[in-house]
Every structure is written in C-alpha cells, then in structure tokens.
Amino acid sequence: MKITIGKLIILLALVALALPVSTSLASGDVKEIHFIIPGGAGGGWDGTARGVGKALLDSGLLKQTSFENMSGGGGGKALNHLISTAKRQQGTLLVNSTPIIIRSLTGVFPQSFRDLTPIASVIADYAALVVKKDSKYQTLDQIMDDFKKDPRSVKIGGGSVKGGMDHLVPAMIIKGAGGDPLKLVYIPYDAGGKAMAGLLSGDTQILSTGFGEALGLANQGEVRILAITSDERLAMAPDVPTVKESGIDVTFANWRGFFGAPGLPEAKAQAYRDLLKKMYDTPEWEEIRSKRGWQNLYQPGAEFTTFLENQEKAIGSMMRELGFIK
C-alpha cells in the first residue's frame, strides 16, 4: 500500500500544479495575472503565455502569475469560458493569435475578437516561402512564372489544414501576382514539423510556413527562405527579401497577443497595456524573445482592434474567393 499512497500524493501534487490560482481584483496597478491558454502544453500559445509571464515575473513587474491550459474546439472552449464567466475574470488574460480570426470567419465558433476586450498584440511571426537547398527556384518571381504557365507544376505544402493559415498566405501571394489562387494545389500536413520533413524528403518542392520555424534549418544551409511577408526585411535575416520587393503587395503577420474578458473596465485594460509595454525594455524579455526568434509587435488597444479588422478583411476576402466561406 506504500506505493499507492505515494502515487496518490504525486497525483495530488500534479492536480495542484494544474489548478488555476485564484486572482484578486486589483484596480489600476496590476500585481498578478492569470493566463488562460486555449491549447495544450508545448504549443505556440502555451509558449507565448508562459514566456510573457516569465519575463513579467523575473523582471519584477508582476508579483504572481498563474496559467491554465484549456484546450478544445480549436480554442473555442477557452473563448466561451472567458465570455461566460467574464464577471470573475478581471484578472485574466487570454492568449490568442491569427487562428481566432480564421476560425470565427469559418464559423468554427460563433464568437469573434469583438466579443472580448483586445489588450495588445505582443509578438509576430511572419509567413515565409521556403525551398530545399538544391531547389531550382532562386526567387519568388520564378515560382510565380511557373505557376502562371502550369499551376499544377507548383505544389505548396504547409502545416495547417486546407483553408488554414499556411494555405491562405501563398493563395494571397498568387492573387497579388495576378494568378488564380483557386488553381493552387495545396498539400496539407498535420504540423509544421511534418511539413518541413515533407519538404526535405522531396514530397513537396515549396513549403509555406512560419519564418521562425524555418530559420533554424535555413541558418544551417538545409533550406532557403525565398520570401517573407513582413513589411521590411528583418534585422535577423537581412538577406531574405520581402514579398513586396517582388512587386506583390502582400504583407501578413501571424500575431500573438492577449485579450481580456468582455466588459473589462478601461482603466484595468489600460493597466495591462502599460504593463506589457514596460516589459519590452527589460533584459529578461529580450533574452526570451531572442532565444525563441520572436519579433516584437506591440499594438495596444484601438491600434490592435484596427489591425484585427484589417486582417479579418484580408483573410475573409481570400477565403470567400477560395470558397471556404460564402
């Protein structure tokens, strides 16, 4: 029986680790934050929330942080939870990213970012088109020329489902270059890593993925990044041209940011925004950010809302054209 009691103690400890720590309602000055993560441990949302939380805690900007993983329904479960318990969630921030826009457009969940209080975007990863080191393609223009000649000769792989982010970005680029995005053959993989393996094995010739995900192998000379969807070239990769440089007017940022419960008092929301702003100047944040290859993208409040509306418009029109929404 000794062992069973031991097991029980461990399990209770595990449960205690997982349980959310209650947060108090401090107005104005933020001392602690409870983060809700709509996905499981180890994912992108998880990394962002825990990274931000760690930077805030280590730099002394916050006294306490707690985290709650709540996966299900492609993030819809957590969204629903935050909205339905809004009154007691004043100390809570929900981490999210571009998929919230895509999924509310396709009707995966009925809510959208408008049902929450946008706090700020924090970081971004730009999309990139990647080829193997020995690929015949040297520039984005060559791909577009081939596509216009024979769309079936250009197959693009990616780590999201059809109609997901990795599909929409090349579709937008093709449209911007004057091609027909409906003719694009998109090869879906169930994760970015598997899609990268597909590129390396010669399954696909071109990969649409996050810039951060491709950077590691690009630095080691295994793959080449042909174009990035940022506005200007990035300081950490000055040799990678932007899509805009090819005369295609497409930019795309897969942002990650935070939302508060609906009806959050403006003063409280502003306190969160100020807190996050302060974080950027701390060495603790810089260390975490540079290690993970994140790009800072701080857009507070109204600026964030405008950005989200624009992104929703761009993604929405692309999805309509591809027939994913009516």
Partner 1 sequence: MWDGMFSGMLTGISTTLIPMNIAMVLFGCFMGSLIGMLPGLGPITAVALMIPVTYGLDPATGMVLLAGVYYGAIFGGSTSSILINAPGEAATVATALDGYPLARQGYPGKALAIAAYASFSGGTISVIMLMVFAPILASVATSFQSADYFALMILGLTAVSAFAGRGGVLKALLMVVLGLMLATVGTDQTSGVQRFTFGSLELLDGIEFLLLAMATFALTEALSIILKRDASSDSLDPKLIGFKSLKVTKKEFKQIGPTIGRSSLLGFFIGVLPGAGATLGSFMAYGMERNLASPEEQKKFGKGSLRGLAAPEAGNNAASSGSFVPLLCLGIPGSGTTAVMLGALIAYGIEPGPRMLTASPEVFWGLIMSMYLGNVFLLILNLPLIPYFARLLAIPRNFMVPMILFFSLMGVYLITFNDFDILMMVIFCIAAMALRLMNFPMAPLLLGFILGGLMEDNLRRALLIYDESLSFMWERPLTLGINLTTLFILLFPLLRSFLARRKSGGDSDDREVAA
Nearer Cβ to partner 1 (80/229) = 80
Cβ-based neighbours of 141, under 8 Å, separated by 6 or more: 246
150-181 burial code (b ≥16 CB/10 A, e <16)? ebeebebbbbbeebbbbbbbbbbbbbbbebeb
Nearest distance from C-beta of residue 254 to partner 1, angstroms: 17
Nearer Cβ to partner 1 (104/246) = 104
DSSP string covering 241-259: PBSGGGT-----EEEEEEE
Nearer Cβ to partner 1 (44/300) = 44
Residue in 179, 186, 226, 225 with CA at minimum distance from that of residue 204:
186
Q: Are the C-beta atoms of 68 and 37 separated by less than 8 Å? A: yes
Nearer Cβ to partner 1 (126/294) = 294
Residues that bind partner 1 (CB under 8 A): 1-4, 7, 10-11, 14-15, 17-18, 40-42, 47, 54, 68-74, 76-77, 80, 106, 108-109, 152, 155, 161-164, 185, 187-191, 193-194, 196-198, 200-204, 216-217, 219-220, 222, 288, 291-293, 324
Nearest distance from C-beta of residue 28 to partner 1, angstroms: 30
Residue in 192, 125, 128, 132 with CA at minimum distance from that of residue 158:
192
User: Rounded to an integer, what distance in angstroms lies between the CA atom of residue 290 and that of residue 283?
Assistant: 10
Nearest distance from C-beta of residue 295 to partner 1, angstroms: 15
Nearer Cβ to partner 1 (83/108) = 108
Nearest distance from C-beta of residue 160 to partner 1, angstroms: 9
Residue in 130, 142, 141 with CA at minimum distance from that of residue 166:
130
Nearest distance from C-beta of residue 5 to partner 1, angstroms: 11
Nearer Cβ to partner 1 (143/269) = 143
Nearest distance from C-beta of residue 225 to partner 1, angstroms: 14
Stated as kind and residue range, the H or E segment containing 102 is helix 99-105
